[in-house]
Structure 1
Amino acid sequence: MEETLEFPALLRLIDERSTAFRAAIAAAPDLDAQVPTCPEWTLFDLAQHLGEGRRAWAATVAEGPGASARSAPEGPAAPREREALLDWLAASAQHLLDALREAGPDRGCWTWWGASQSPQTCAAVARHQLQEVAVHTYDAQLAAGVPQPLPAEVALDGAEDFLLTCVATTSPWPHKPATVDFHAAEGRSWRLSLSAEGARTTRVTDATPSDASARGTAADLVMVLYGRAALHSLELDGDPHVFALLAAWEPED
């Protein structure tokens, strides 16, 4: 399995997860069903969110590095009729994939994660978009009664992307410096270092002990990181207070 997914693989997997999302929408008994992992949304709301988000990111990628904020979604609103909705979702995913292919991986792009460890490039956008689609596919499958774990290659890349994009920050850690390790059962580990310089993530390459650690499958880690599962669903070790402080932390940048 690749250590880091290349751009063509990211696009392939966005397409695959988008197809799986539509399959869940097609299989659901009722589009007004509540989504357990997004309780404020129905399945229709989730589909609307996913489609509009992909259209907005397609427009942002197409606008190029000069964009100062994420662009508004382009095209028609999400239709209520199921078959039309499925066609609209397919078109939304295709708009994103076409924009990313046209731009290429190295082109600059506006992103909201400027202070993180992820670059502001179309490759980084594709990487995070894969996780957006993958996690919401799980949400839709759960609501439709057919939940499936994230594919291992998606989950391994997703755990790393979350730690680099959503957790890494230059905002000072307001507590005693600490390290937290995240171990995927598939054989990959990451260390989150928390200090006055912020939060930075690295791959774990030695056996130096951390202050706290969490272990599970890569899919389990992603579900916990995205708030779809409780922390105690993982195998925890070390100081539990560090996890409590991390969960309560609200960085300024």
Structure 2
Amino acid sequence: MTLLAHDRYCDEIAHQVRLLRAVVTSGADLSATVPTCPDWTLEQLVRHTGGALRWVELMVRTRAQEEIPEEQVPGAEGPEGEGDPAALDAWLADTGEMLVGALREAGPDAKVWGWAGVLNAGFWARRMTHEITIHRADATLAAKLPYDVAPDIAADAIDEWLEIVEWAQRTLPDDPSRELQRSGSIHLHATDNTPELNAEWVIDLTGDAIVWRRGHEKATVALRGPLTAVLLAFYRRLPLDSPELEVLGERELLEFWLERATFG
């Protein structure tokens, strides 16, 4: 699958950091539970996201050839004290600048350790783009704010999620994705699709591992809706019964997928 340009990922990380900072400074209750990550408050979600960005920044900047333990990352835990949106905002701003600067300086081909076997900085530019894009959705849900995302980023996030599920099936013997072998197929259909974007996917579950491709084909079950809504439903951030979504065919197969495609 064709990736987006490295600079596009870097630009989007910077953009998503700005949008996440806007949630932090919106007056939202930082102690509110995140509906889609109920073990976290909004503040804990933001600290987790910023900490992940700082972890990657350190690995990219130092060209790490093995995983750096998270506890060795300076400042990853966030500002001292809790409930201070200004301090959290400033920490996020510094975090975003650090990571984007490190990724731009490295370029996509710099050799860096990666957990999926893609050993370059480009892997991390893409991974962190979608890490913060999805966790910003979590944050906006907690803050009861609107959410949208650029179509090229949303489509690439679905591609990457399918690649992660493939990787988990191959690599993690106890991962629930190993149970996804089942008769049938899933079609994801963005109703605001364009020929240039090609935001449709077919996922075949009939083999020993999933096989997927972009395209419009009849399937056992189809999930239809605007691309952002399809993205959020596929990441289990939006219920299938949401009014902007439509499920056609064997809904149980789609639910079976969502219960088991859980890595990350």
TM-score category by the smaller chain?
Answer: 0.7 to 0.9
Q: Give the structure-1-normalised TM-score.
A: 0.83
What are the residue-to-residue correspondences of 1:25-174 with 2, within 5 Å?
25-64=24-63, 66-68=65-67, 72=71, 74-76=73-75, 77-79=77-79, 80=82, 81-114=84-117, 119-166=118-165, 169-170=169-170
CA contact (8 A) 1:59 1:72 kept: no
1:230 aligns with 239
CA contact (8 A) 1:78 1:85 kept: yes
Tell me the alpha carbon deviations over residues 129-158 of structure 1, each in whole angstroms, 9 at most, x when there is no partner: 111111222222232332222233322222
The letter of the residue matching 2:16 is: R
Q: Give the structure-2-normalised TM-score.
A: 0.80
- Is the partner of 1:244 in helix, strand or coil? helix
In structure 1, stretches of 5+ residues that fail to align are none
* Cα distance in 2 for residues equivalent to 1:33 and 1:63: 36
* Cα distance in 1 for residues equivalent to 2:137 and 2:182: 36
* Cα distance in 1 for residues equivalent to 2:170 and 2:66: 23
Q: Tell me whether 152-161 or 170-179 shows the greater mean CA deviation.
A: 170-179
2:189 aligns with 183
C-alpha deviation, 1:69, in angstroms: 6.0
C-alpha deviation, 1:174, in angstroms: 6.0
Closer, same or farther: CA 142–212 of 1 in aligned 2, 3 Å: closer
Q: How many matched pairs?
A: 244
- RMSD over equivalenced CA pairs, Å: 2.7
The letter of the residue matching 1:240 is: R
* Cα distance in 2 for residues equivalent to 1:218 and 1:143: 21
Tell me the alpha carbon deviations over residues 65-115 of structure 1, each in whole angstroms, 9 at most, x when there is no partner: 62146654622341233222211111111222122112211234333334x
C-alpha deviation, 1:189, in angstroms: 0.8
The letter of the residue matching 1:93 is: G
1:240 aligns with 251
The letter of the residue matching 2:232 is: M
CA contact (8 A) 1:60 1:71 kept: no
1:15 aligns with 14
* Cα distance in 2 for residues equivalent to 1:229 and 1:194: 23
- Is the partner of 1:201 in helix, strand or coil? strand
CA contact (8 A) 1:173 1:196 kept: no
Closer, same or farther: CA 196–148 of 1 in aligned 2, 3 Å: closer
- Is the partner of 2:213 in helix, strand or coil? strand
C-alpha deviation, 1:63, in angstroms: 4.0
